[in-house]
């Protein structure tokens, strides 16, 4: 995993997670994705809930947290309806990856996170904004299939992807 190790995040890590989300937002803006994760999103309360439920993780390089993500067992309510397609597999239990963000200098984070998650589930689902070209590229590169469009609780559309263990 490129010298990275992945650990569960705790309440002591909230400030660093918020900083990493700001880094992710800046990376998206520099790539032309101007509307995903407006300031204040995802909210601190969501991160606190991820931690409380044991679903928040940090990617560590030495003693430094260089990335964060949530790895959550399904079902995810926003994935119950998909438009313009269908899930590759709708029978297996699945996990969802949300809120993946890293420092701009970090390389190989997506691969490290996917390796970690794929070792722990048979099916992964991820959604992303239509302007998030970086994420779309990484998803296809790592064996995900575009399945259709889902809608967040606030109604915003997201491209929905799934990976199923071969």
Structural domains of the chain, ranges and CATH numbers in brackets: 5-164 (3.40.630.30)
Arithmetic mean of pLDDT, 118-143: 96
- Closest by Cα among 148, 124, 152, 147 to 42: 152
Model pLDDT for residues 5-64, shown as the tens digit of each residue: 999 999 999 999 999 999 999 999 998 888 888 888 899 999 999 999 999 999 999 999
| Phi and psi torsions of 157, nearest 5° | -80, 150
* The two structure tokens encoding residue 37: 């994760």
pLDDT digits (tens, 9 = 90+) for 71-87: 999 999 999 999 999 99
Q: Which pairing describes strands 64-73 and 56-61: parallel, antiparallel, or unpaired?
A: antiparallel
91: burial class by Cβ within 10 Å (0-12, 13-18, 19+)?
exposed
């Amino acid at each position: 995993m490129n010298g990275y190790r992945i650990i569960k995040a705790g309440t002591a890590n909230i400030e660093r997670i918020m900083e990493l989300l700001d880094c992710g937002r800046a990376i998206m803006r520099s790539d032309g994705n101007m509307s995903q994760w407006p300031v204040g999103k995802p909210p601190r309360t969501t991160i606190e809930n991820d931690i409380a439920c044991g679903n928040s993780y940090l990617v560590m390089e030495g003693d430094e947290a260089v990335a964060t993500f949530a790895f959550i067992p399904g079902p995810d309510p926003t994935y119950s309806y998909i438009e313009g397609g269908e899930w590759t597999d709708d029978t297996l239990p699945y996990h969802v990856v949300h809120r993946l963000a890293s420092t701009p200098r970090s390389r190989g984070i997506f691969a490290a996170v996917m390796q970690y998650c794929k070792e722990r589930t048979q099916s992964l689902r991820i959604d992303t904004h239509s302007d998030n070209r970086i994420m779309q590229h990484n998803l296809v590169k790592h064996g995900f299939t575009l399945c259709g469009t889902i809608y967040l609780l606030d109604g915003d559309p997201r491209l929905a992807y799934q990976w199923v263990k071969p």
